[in-house]
Amino acid sequence: MFTIIDLWAGAMTGAFSYWIIIAILAVNFVFIMTLIFMERADPRSTVSWIIILVLVPILGFIVYLFIGQTFYRNKQFQLKKKDDDRLLLAKEKVIELLRTREKEDMPAEEREIYRVGESLMNAGGSFFTENNDVELFTEGEKKFERMFDDLRRAKNFIHIEYYIIRNDLLSYEFMDILIDKVKEGVKVRLMIDAVGNNKGPKKKIMEFKKAGGEFATFHKTVTVLLSPKKNNRNHRKIAVIDGKIGYVGGFNIGDEYLGKGPLGYWRDSAVRVEGIGVYTMNLRFMMDWDYATKKMLSADEKYYPEMEQNPAWTQKFQLISGGPDTQRNPIQTEYLKLINIAKKSIYIHTPYLIPDTTIRDALILAGFSGVDVRIIMPDKPDHPFVYWAGLAFAGQLIKDGSVRVYNYNRGFVHSKTMVVDGKYCSVGSANLDERSLKLNFETNGVVYSDEIGKEMMDAFMEDLSYSSEYTEEMYDHRSLWVRIKMGVSRLAAGLL
């Protein structure tokens, strides 16, 4: 009887013996059992890996070692989690404070905000903070102009954590500012993801270090390319100036984020925060810096300066971070919570639409409940597999008519935002895909604000005028070639 063993033995004649082929298949069988019984991976990714390991045992075995297996995460990231937990002990005091704020005579909407904040803290989010001033940016030029001005005014310290800093004109301007501040005596720490730093401004970074600036990569550049950890990228974008001003969002640093790249006009989002919420950004940076450098920064008051209480600062802010060092990803919980509390509308920007089943079903259920659910995604790929997988998942969402999906035709939408009922606003680095919800280290800022909510809704409606709806008819009438690309891309997405 002709078997898969005969097939592989025939294909490998002269290279491997029959018994070596059997040994390879046996090893693959062990990995398959490991996937099923020990790693407890997502069923969809488990099935995808089983297919790969059965069809291409040798190549599948190698690929699985590099990007599939997850045993190393518990060992590699448990120390990081312990340090993070130790630094977050004060969270219990903040939760107690929130509960005392919930008065019986408090309006129901206000009480709901406090309860959402408490639930996200319990799920692993940061402190819920009040008395903040938040400014929204939807274009790169305004964001970088404002941030660069803040950097030039820094007096004490600057903490920067980005996924990518390009080797181009905007990045040179950015690095020159940091170098000048170091020479002025300002303490400047800069951290970039090791993979994202591959095309970074190497000469400028050397000049920065020579001037006295502190530089680190999240994971070591030399070893990460030979390690499964290259799949766990630090995708966060955080900047803290003097502990009083903070930025979080989706922009990396480079000319393309000004719309000067091959994808054209760049639609992204970020927020600038003044107030107590900046403390949580700085704490996030310090925890990541400790992990990357093994040099823990002291909780010195210079890093958490006393904030003046400005009566005009009324916005509530909370930082939500997630990654492979968390047992239940707080960002996934954040997205699910915001979707589930929606009563009127859910408007989402995402460049990568590959939600897991829980988020997909929550969006569909919200639509069935009468909530206006709309999603804007790109009409062109920056990563082809992700783009075609996104269109396949879009087809699932629009099938029942409860969710509407639009392709952005003006350029490229890189924004990762969600605004619910015009007052719950998420702006950050986390895409609506399984990479952001499983593998990457991500950070979102949640703003509880009618004012910011209105700005985000207005921006979303403007973006709709530059978008075309992806309809069920378009999905049903895909060509055979498009169906193949979607199928292969969905399988590839399932490997994460």
pLDDT digit string, tens, across residues 132-173: 999 999 999 999 999 999 999 999 999 999 999 999 999 999
Residue 13 makes CB contacts below 8 A (sequence gap 6+) with none
Most confident of 49-63, 216-230, 381-395, 421-435: 421-435
CB atoms within 10 A of CB 184: 11
The Cα–Cα gap between 421 and 75 comes to 41
- Provide the pLDDT confidence category of residue 484 given band limits of 50, 70 and 90: confident
Give the pTM: 0.84
Q: Kindly compute the dihedral angle of the four CA atoms of residues 28, 34, 37, 41, in this order, to the nearest 10 degrees.
A: -100
**Which pLDDT does position 1 carry in this prediction?**
42
Residue type, 449: S
The Cα–Cα gap between 282 and 139 comes to 24
The one catalytic residue among 242, 288, 325, 356: 242
The Cα–Cα gap between 175 and 168 comes to 10
The Cα–Cα gap between 141 and 255 comes to 10
Instruction: Single out the residue of 396, 420, 394 nearest to residue 407, CA to CA.
Output: 394
165 touches 254 (CB < 8 A): yes
- Helices 43-55 and 18-37: angle between axes, nearest 10 degrees: 180
Q: Is 242 a catalytic residue?
A: yes
249 touches 138 (CB < 8 A): no
Q: What is the chain's mean pLDDT, rounded?
A: 84
- Provide the pLDDT confidence category of residue 56 given band limits of 50, 70 and 90: low
- Helices 330-341 and 357-368: angle between axes, nearest 10 degrees: 10
**Which pLDDT does position 18 carry in this prediction?**
62
Q: Are strands 417-420 and 345-349 parallel, antiparallel or unpaired?
A: antiparallel
Mean pLDDT across the stretch 298-312? 77
Instruction: Single out the residue of 50, 290, 250 nearest to residue 137, CA to CA.
Output: 250
Helices (H) and strands (E) in the chain, counts: 19, 19
Q: Is 414 a catalytic residue?
A: yes
Q: Is 421 a catalytic residue?
A: yes
**Which pLDDT does position 87 carry in this prediction?**
47
Query: Residue 363 has which token pair?
Result: 């969006």
Residue 384 predicted with pLDDT over 50: yes
The Cα–Cα gap between 451 and 459 comes to 13
* Number of residues that make up the chain: 496
Which has more confidence, 490 or 172? 172
Mean pLDDT across the stretch 186-196? 92
Residue 26 makes CB contacts below 8 A (sequence gap 6+) with none
Extract the runs of DSSP E, i.e. beta strands, from 256-362.
265-267, 270-275, 315-322, 345-349, 353-354
Residue type, 155: K
Of 146-160, 378-392, 458-472, minimum mean pLDDT range? 378-392
Residue 221 makes CB contacts below 8 A (sequence gap 6+) with 194, 197
The one catalytic residue among 159, 181, 219, 235: 235
Mean pLDDT across the stretch 211-217? 96
Q: Is 300 a catalytic residue?
A: no
Measure Cα distances from 56 to 50, 59, 144 in Å.
10, 6, 47
Residue 230 predicted with pLDDT over 80: no
Residue 447 three-state SS: strand
The one catalytic residue among 80, 244, 416, 438: 416
The one catalytic residue among 421, 423, 433, 463: 421
Mean pLDDT across the stretch 233-259? 96
Mean pLDDT across the stretch 393-419? 94
Q: Is 477 a catalytic residue?
A: no
Residue 100 predicted with pLDDT over 70: no
Residue 2 predicted with pLDDT over 60: no
Q: Is 209 a catalytic residue?
A: no
Which has more confidence, 180 or 231? 180
> How does DSSP classify residue 198?
G
Residue 144 three-state SS: helix
Residue 8 predicted with pLDDT over 50: no
The Cα–Cα gap between 465 and 461 comes to 7
The one catalytic residue among 237, 337, 423, 438: 237
Residue 69 predicted with pLDDT over 90: no
315 touches 307 (CB < 8 A): no
456 touches 425 (CB < 8 A): yes
The one catalytic residue among 143, 414, 438, 485: 414
Q: Kindly compute the dihedral angle of the four CA atoms of residues 460, 462, 467, 470, in this order, to the nearest 10 degrees.
A: 40
